[in-house]
Structure 1
Amino acid sequence: MVARRWFPRLDDVRDLVADQFGAGRRVVALDRLVGGSKKGVYRLRLDDRTTVILYVWAAGENYWPPSPTVPDDPFTDASGAELFATNHAALAAVDVRIPQLLMLDRDGRYLDADVALLEDVGAVKLESLLDRDPAAAAAPLATLGDALRRMHRTLGPRYGKLAAIASGVASQRRRPEDIVVDRALSHLHAAAVRDARLADAHDRIAGHVRHLRGAVAERATYGLVHGELGPDHVLVTPAGEPVVIDIEGLTYFDVEWEHAWLRMRFGDAYPLLRPVDLDPHRLELYRYAQVLSLIEGPLRIADTDFPDRRWMLDLAERNIGKALAVL
């Protein structure tokens, strides 16, 4: 747990605004947006009523405590300015709508942290639009589905983070489904320490994971996946454009990983995304592995000073029910 967290204040961003927009424009408000757990997200309001978004990657903005990890898990430590910059360029190259990047500073010129300044595309999440007006969400969902198919058909012979592949350090020693199994079992072990029901069912859950793995055939091509794309990670502009955010986890991996998450997060709206063809056995293994992840992660962060602890505990409880239901 971080004993004392520091967050930027209005005076801390005045030089940044002056350098980017000129001395004639001033920042009049700095609003910290809720929901982030690995980086800080702020809306800067300027004196001409325009707004921009500021990302801050600093230790005090990351609420996640350390945990045991699978060494070659490509979804580990999916945060940071370098990943953001690499992934932003990759998504732009396949015509996925993302917020325009206005400035990236990794030299500490403005704050004692890496920062990025981005276009403000608004505050309307696809999640809230689906809740209040499903008919209005249909067009953004279809456009998002087109973008996802472009991503998932952008294939590569190696899996891993884009920056790691580009630098030649991405590990390829094992099949991705074996990484997912180890990841799932690691999450199970850690969660069982915190919940007696999981401790009691530990061996049966582990056996179910291995049973699902046994049905998966080998494959060696990988698509471009967001990693945890839900309707809360898509903003909708006033013009109805879906804009993908939280892109640091972008990875070449099995597209079934993405679709296991999409099916869970989009629910009844998922078919409107018109998914690509999928391997049902791989999909079910990845779905169950993600259930275990959504137990361990929320229970772990709930032990910290994360501001919405109750939400995390409720998320873990829902997924404990899913994990036990199949046994």
Structure 2
Amino acid sequence: MRQFTDIQDLSGLVRDALGAGCRVVAVDRLRGGSKKGVYRVRLEGTHTSSVIVYSWAAAENFWPGAREADPADPFALASGLVPFLAAQRCLDGVGARVPRVLLADDSRRRYPADVAVVEDVSGGTLEALLATDPARAAGALGDLARMLEVMHRHRARHYGRVDLLDRGGSASGVPCERRVLGRALRDLDEAAGREGRIGRAGAAFRDRLRELADRVNPRTEYGLIHGELGPDHVLVDADGHPVLIDIEGLMYFDVEWEHVFLQLRFGERYTALARPGLDPRRLDLYMLAMRLSLVAGPLRLLDGDFPDRASMRGIAEHNMHEALALRPLA
């Protein structure tokens, strides 16, 4: 049985962040996270009514083992205080809005895991706002498009997660498209072992992935991308501006990888985020690779005890049908 945190665990931590006069009155664990715990802590006796606490405790990570062992791999599991703070600094430096960090601690003296106390952005997610207030959401979506344009035009000569690059490392031993190809082939093998419909199409998928990768010419510059930017990973502040969360996977990479994910997650609203000049050959390869990733990943998560099993199964099933539709016809 997993043990999550409670008022007693977080009271001292939050007082250290906000001052001795604040009092924790309630703690709610927010749903949806698979790598870290996210808690809304409600307060009295301070200028703010709530804060968010991120906990990277082992009990908060639902992934059943790390498939990627190479820390230089930009697709390795991105989790922890170090990548979070590196991403926060980078995004803040380019002018992209992220929650303010009130306290960050990896000493394990205040709390038995890496932990951060951050601003609680008041407006909810862009996903919810698109459903409840389309006019207000349209403004936030336009701001998000401009934010992404700034990020994607912020260039680097090497690709990789920003925390790795900050330490002087590089993931650029092979071109981006070959890195994606290798990952897609592993995702294909993994999905095929769990789902017979993918397994029966395995040879066709392998041939198609290699064919698409062979069409792509290497690059020598890369843009700054979030990596998993859906409308659930964008909050909206009191002024209606977008705020990026779940930023630990921030990396320099082909911006087409970001745009494929945006297409999948924003659907018909992607037109507000689209930009000219993307490489259609990369988009073709990355779309198929992303679909296979969104089959293998959720099925892998279901090997463990992730609680929202129906949603993960639904993601895998949807993307399996979409991937099968991208197979070359016999």
Same fold (TM over 0.5): yes
Could you list the runs of 5+ residues in structure 2 that have no partner in the other structure? none
* 1:79 paired to 2:79: yes
C-alpha contact 1:70 1:183 (8 A) present in aligned 2:
no
TM-score (norm. length: structure 1)? 0.96
2:121 paired residue number: 121
> Against the structure 1 CA distance between its residues 269 and 70, is the aligned structure 2 distance closer, same or farther, given a 3 Å change threshold?
farther
**Equivalents in 2 of 1:150, 1:302: separation in Å?**
36
Per-residue CA deviation, residues 25-72 of structure 1 (Å, 9 max, x unaligned), is 210111100011000000111124710000000110000112533845
Per-residue CA deviation, residues 207-236 of structure 1 (Å, 9 max, x unaligned), is 111111121112110000001101010011
* 1:174 paired to 2:138: no
C-alpha contact 1:70 1:179 (8 A) present in aligned 2:
no
**Equivalents in 2 of 1:207, 1:125: separation in Å?**
40
1:43 to 40, 53, 68: 40
Letter matched to residue 11 of structure 2: R
* 1:242 paired to 2:242: yes
C-alpha contact 1:156 1:223 (8 A) present in aligned 2:
yes
Question: What RMSD, in angstroms, separates the aligned Cα atoms of the two structures?
Answer: 1.4
> Aligned to 1:46, what secondary structure does the other structure show?
strand
**Equivalents in 2 of 1:193, 1:274: separation in Å?**
35
* 1:11 paired to 2:8: yes
**Equivalents in 2 of 1:281, 1:162: separation in Å?**
26
Letter matched to residue 254 of structure 2: D
**Equivalents in 1 of 2:250, 2:169: separation in Å?**
16
Deviating runs (4+, > 4 A) in structure 1?
Answer: none
* 1:58 paired to 2:54: no
> Against the structure 1 CA distance between its residues 30 and 61, is the aligned structure 2 distance closer, same or farther, given a 3 Å change threshold?
same
**Equivalents in 2 of 1:51, 1:283: separation in Å?**
41
Percentage of identical aligned residues = 48
TM-score (norm. length: structure 2)? 0.95
Q: How does 1:163-312 map to 2 (within 5 A)?
A: 163-312=163-312
- Bigger mean CA deviation after superposition, 40-49 or 255-264: 40-49
> Aligned to 2:62, what secondary structure does the other structure show?
coil
Letter matched to residue 157 of structure 1: R
Per-residue CA deviation, residues 225-275 of structure 1 (Å, 9 max, x unaligned), is 001101010011232111110000000100001001011111111111242
C-alpha contact 1:70 1:182 (8 A) present in aligned 2:
no
How many residues are treated as equivalent by the alignment?
324
2:30 paired residue number: 33
C-alpha contact 1:29 1:46 (8 A) present in aligned 2:
yes
